[in-house]
Amino acid sequence: MDSSVALGRLELARPLMTRGSCLPEGGQSAHLNGCVPLSHQVAGHKYGVDKVGILQHPDGTVLKQLQPPPRGPREMQFYSMVCAEDHCDPCLVDLKTHLPKYYGTWSSPDAPTDLYLKLEDVTRRFQKPCIMDVKIGQKSYDPFASQEKREQQIRKYPLMEEIGFLLLGMRVYKVGSDSYDTYDQHYGRGLVKDTIKEGLSKFFYNGDILRKDAITASILEVQKILQWFEGQSRFSFYASSLLFVYEGVSMPNHVSQTVRENPIAPEACEQNNNINQSLSMYSLHKKGCGRSHYQAKQDNGVWRSSQQPNGNHSVARLEEDRKESKSEAGQETVSDVEVKMIDFAHVFTSDVPDQGYIYGLKNLLKVLHQILEE
């Protein structure tokens, strides 16, 4: 968000910090209808601190406040396009599986013009969710950014082009102390080529062991996203992230089943969230937001075959190891890791593969493999 959906974001140059509650005060919270700041957010704009932020709705969904035009309307249009129920575009159908579920928009009756994207909280089914937000790509600014904006983004992390990703934050459950270690963006920006592996490995260390099961599952999920990117040449993503979540409770059979037992309440799809209604509210911005950017191109359903990403383990081998691990733990139905794409305020149509994002995914996979194999 410029941040996180369902989320969390976060710190190495500055040591650990614990995030406290930032509930809105007095009249500021009067129109929120029971919504509260997202307690497990690890990166991005925070409610009560920035002009826009992330909230938790009483029904369990996440509310991401719409950013000013053209970013906010552009992100809303992207979600509306990908998650439309009446399309059968194979490229978009596949992409949808890598995004949090989208329930349209929400606004309070007392402030109907303050729109929020209503999204799935992908951490909801976990008892002790470990959360990591990683910005992907060689550039964190889009082609229409001003020179000042470009220089500003490059100064924030000069190694972005070389490394291809940036750790924005993480929240890691420590089994021994029953507490969380939290790291913010300063931590990630302090990582260099020689320390990126060690910095990323902290996300999978629970104070007792390195969670290789979570690493393996994460690799599999990232490889699926890489396969989608290598098979499409319709979109380019800038300043977009991957949200990683795994269960901090050591034994997988202890993972919460709340996603099955407590599905999203009907209120999640209330009339207030009508997608067409929300789009019409921004009709004046359609030209500036480039709605034409999202005109679907026909690809005749043909996907180019993609090669295996960097790493010594094949997808089949990783899947086999993962199944064996689940079988030994007595878990068969609950996936132990979620990896979702988030933040789409800077997505544009293209006619070539998104090489910057692909480069970042491959480098991230390379580091994950190195952590797994040591």
Tell me what the pLDDT averaged over the chain comes to.
77
Residue 37 confidence (pLDDT): 87
Q: What is the pLDDT of residues 246-279, one digit of tens each?
A: 999 965 443 334 333 444 554 554 434 444 444 4
Structural contact between residues 169 and 8, judged by C-beta atoms closer than 8 angstroms: yes
Number of Cβ within a 10 Å radius of residue 333: 8
Number of Cβ within a 10 Å radius of residue 114: 14
d(CA 347, CA 239): 9
Residue 66 confidence (pLDDT): 92
In three-state secondary structure terms, 214 is helix
Nearest to 122 by CA among 217, 264, 7: 7
Residue 176 CA from chain centroid, whole number: 28
Q: Which residues contact 317 (CB under 8 A, 6 or more apart)?
A: none
Residue 209 confidence (pLDDT): 95
Give the pLDDT band of residue 13 (cuts 50, 70, 90).
very low
Give the H/E segment covering residue 221.
helix 212-230
Q: What is the pLDDT of residues 237-249, one digit of tens each?
A: 999 999 999 999 9
In three-state secondary structure terms, 342 is strand
Give the pLDDT band of residue 318 (cuts 50, 70, 90).
low
CATH of 36-250+338-373, one of 3.40.50.80, 3.40.50.300, 3.30.450.20, 3.30.470.160: 3.30.470.160
Give the pairing type, strands 54-56 and 62-65.
Answer: antiparallel
Q: What is the pLDDT of residues 133-164, one digit of tens each?
A: 999 999 999 999 999 999 999 999 999 999 99
Tell me the domain boundaries of the chain: 36-250+338-373
Task: Give the type of residue at 95.
Answer: L
d(CA 166, CA 149): 18
Report the number of secondary-structure helices (H) and strands (E) in the chain.
12, 12
Question: How far are the Cα atoms of 155, 213, 216 from residue 319, in angstroms, in the given order?
Answer: 40, 11, 8
> Does the model's pTM come out above 0.85?
no
d(CA 338, CA 359): 21
pLDDT at 58 over 60: yes
Pick 336 or 128 by higher pLDDT: 128
d(CA 240, CA 141): 10
Q: What is the pLDDT of residues 15-33, one digit of tens each?
A: 233 223 333 444 444 447 7
> Quick one: tokens of 61?
């969904």
306-312 own/partner pairs: CB under 8 Å, 24+ apart: 306/226, 306/227, 306/230, 306/231, 307/230, 309/223, 309/226, 309/361, 309/362, 309/365, 310/362, 310/365, 310/366, 310/369, 311/219, 311/365, 311/366, 311/368, 311/369, 312/369, 312/373
DSSP tag of 307: P
The size of the chain, in residues, is 374
Q: What is the pLDDT of residues 104-113, one digit of tens each?
A: 999 988 889 9
